[in-house]
Amino acid sequence: MGNKQLRLGAFIMATGHHVAAWRHPGSQIDSGTNIDHYIEVAQTAERGLFDQVFVADSPGIWGTGDDESFSRQGRISHFEPVTLWAALSAVTKHIGFVATASTTYEDPYLLARKFASLDHISKGRAAWNVVTTSNDSVHGNFGLDAHPSPGERYAKATEFVDVVKGLWDSFDDDAFVRDRESGVYFHPSKLHELNHIGKYLKVKGPLNLERSRQGHPVIVQAGSSEDGKELAAATAEAIFTAWTSLGEAQAFYKDVKDRMAKYGRRPEQLLVLPGISPVIGRTEEEAQAKWAELQALIHPSVGLSTLVPYWPDEDLHRWNLDAPPPYYPEPPKGINSRAHVVIELARRERFTVRQLYEYLAGARGHWVVIGTPQTIADRMQEWFENGAADGFNVMPPVLPASLNEFVDLVVPELQRRGLFRTAYEGTTLRENLGLERPVSRHASGARLAA
């Protein structure tokens, strides 16, 4: 193994990733707006020496299906992530914070300022998960009748990220002297206007905030479509992705790393972190019993609602739940690759409709692993050592219970195998992830790292 160690993020979904988690007694039922719950979860992840915690977000309400299913979904009310992470940074010391924000529906100046502020507040532990947004509940909140096309959203995203990075470089690292004796606070010659005029954006700058301890917050991207892979290869330092088999994960890992050279980047400048949702028991029987308990909490209308994005034009209530889907659609162009993953999974496993929605209920198509701490560590080690992952985005089925189990049972097993740290290496998220601090684009001979 050498010294190579895997990275761990905790992907926090309020009550947990299982669609029925809010009904489980191991969940905090009002977690979406319970700050004490998030404090507990963040501190647990830090106790487990995780690199970062992450929440998905959208500037629109989540949930699909008719009123029957909609009323039974537990992810409707939740905090805005940058605000949440600013609060949690005050009660933690080491763990990083990944917040989602959209390049389609945010303003680049305000976003740059918000994330730079979080990076300063957390003393260098902030990350931005770059998304282009495809949730149908969003565009109407911004006065639009429809989303821009996927191609346009990704083209704008590339320009948007470059603008934000440019704003983060508004001041040189040594611009602020704050010398009481001389009376010089900063050097105006070390302040740079951006003056960006592009196809989608026009931003003058400069940002009214100096560079942070990290230089830039870490750039994260979540998406595995062709456009998503190009965006990640060009700009991202970590990518969250969803695969259910070693072969698929290996192919994706190689593909996205191979794309980096044309952007002047090295493979180690991008960490590939697939999602894993572990159902943990001290014995295999206990793990299977926990999974069965969760599955029994799924109301069929909620289960069927998980299939709506893949069969959007069907009345799914007419289907026989105990037969395979009547047909497998070709995912429409522009739909993110999750549709391809789910439909291929249904074909490969010959799932019935009920089996498919029960699988998706666990983690929306991410990799669900059920077993003992040793079994889960075995699977993670296999992917890590065989070119499928640099680490994992751990997706606890139920919160806080499942994260406690992972930290108490799986982390020690990974440490015994020499796969995971026993202490934090640095003080910033970049240092703990093994990522370079970006040099300002205005520095002499500058070469931006990712």
pLDDT at 21: 81
Residue 305 domain-assigned (yes or no): no
Q: Is the pLDDT of residue 14 over 70?
A: yes
Contact predicate 317/80, CB 8 Å = no
Query: Which of 120, 132, 130 is CA-nearest to residue 98?
Result: 130
Q: Residue 109 maps to which CATH number? A: 3.20.20.30
Give the residue with greater pLDDT, 166 vs 64: 166
Residue 49 domain-assigned (yes or no): yes
pLDDT at 70: 58
Residue 389 domain-assigned (yes or no): yes
Question: Which residue carries 């740079």 as its tokens?
Answer: 192
Q: Is the pLDDT of residue 341 over 50?
A: yes
Token pair listed for 34: 């319970």
Residue 225 φ/ψ, nearest 5 degrees:
-70, 170
Q: Provide the CB-side half-sphere exposure for 303 (13 A, CA).
A: 19
Residue 43 domain-assigned (yes or no): yes
Distance in angstroms (rounded) separating the CA atoms of residues 39 and 191: 37
pLDDT at 57: 78
In Å, the largest CA–CA distance within the chain is 80
SS3 state at 346: helix
CA–centroid distance for 80 within its chain: 15
**CB-neighbour burial class of residue 7 (10 A; exposed 0-12, middle 13-18, buried 19+):** buried
Q: Give the tens place of pLDDT for each residue, 117-129.
A: 999 999 999 999 9
Q: Spell out the residues 6+ positions from residue 73 whose beta carbon is closer than 8 angstroms to its own.
A: 19, 62, 63, 65, 302, 305
Mean pLDDT of the chain: 90
Residue 88 domain-assigned (yes or no): yes
Q: Spell out the residues 6+ positions from residue 75 whose beta carbon is closer than 8 angstroms to its own.
A: 13, 14, 15, 32, 62, 63
Contact predicate 236/433, CB 8 Å = no
Contact predicate 218/235, CB 8 Å = no
What confidence category does residue 135 fall into, taking pLDDT thresholds of 50, 70 and 90? confident
pLDDT at 280: 98
Q: Give the tens place of pLDDT for each residue, 198-234.
A: 999 999 999 999 999 999 999 999 877 888 899 899 9
Q: Give the tens place of pLDDT for each residue, 414-444.
A: 999 999 999 999 999 999 999 999 999 998 7
Question: Which residue carries 């406690």 as its tokens?
Answer: 404
Q: Give the tens place of pLDDT for each residue, 71-114.
A: 666 566 778 999 999 999 999 999 999 999 999 989 999 999 99
Strands (E), 103-248: 126-131, 176-179, 184-186, 196-197, 202-203, 218-222, 238-241
What confidence category does residue 134 fall into, taking pLDDT thresholds of 50, 70 and 90? confident
Q: Give the tens place of pLDDT for each residue, 27-72.
A: 888 878 899 999 999 999 999 999 999 988 777 665 555 555 656 6
Distance in angstroms (rounded) separating the CA atoms of residues 328 and 347: 8
pLDDT at 19: 82
Strands (E), 76-172: 96-102, 126-131
Q: Give the tens place of pLDDT for each residue, 347-385.
A: 889 999 999 988 888 777 789 999 999 999 999 999 999
* DSSP-assigned beta bridge partners for residue 7: 391
Distance in angstroms (rounded) separating the CA atoms of residues 291 and 284: 11
Residue 444 domain-assigned (yes or no): no
Q: Is the pLDDT of residue 336 over 60?
A: no
Give the residue numbers spanning the domain of 375: 7-170+200-280+367-433
Q: Provide the CB-side half-sphere exposure for 324 (13 A, CA).
A: 11
pLDDT at 64: 56
Q: Quick one: DSSP state of residue 409?
A: I
Residue 113 domain-assigned (yes or no): yes
Q: Give the tens place of pLDDT for each residue, 300-335.
A: 888 888 888 888 888 888 999 999 999 988 765 544
Q: In this prediction, what percent of the chain has a pLDDT beyond 90?
A: 65
pTM, rounded to two decimals: 0.89
pLDDT at 431: 97
pLDDT at 334: 47
Instruction: Note if the bond before 206 is cis, omega within 30 degrees.
Output: yes
Token pair listed for 243: 């695969």
pLDDT at 13: 83
Residue 103 domain-assigned (yes or no): yes
Looking at the structure of the chain, the number of domains it has is 1
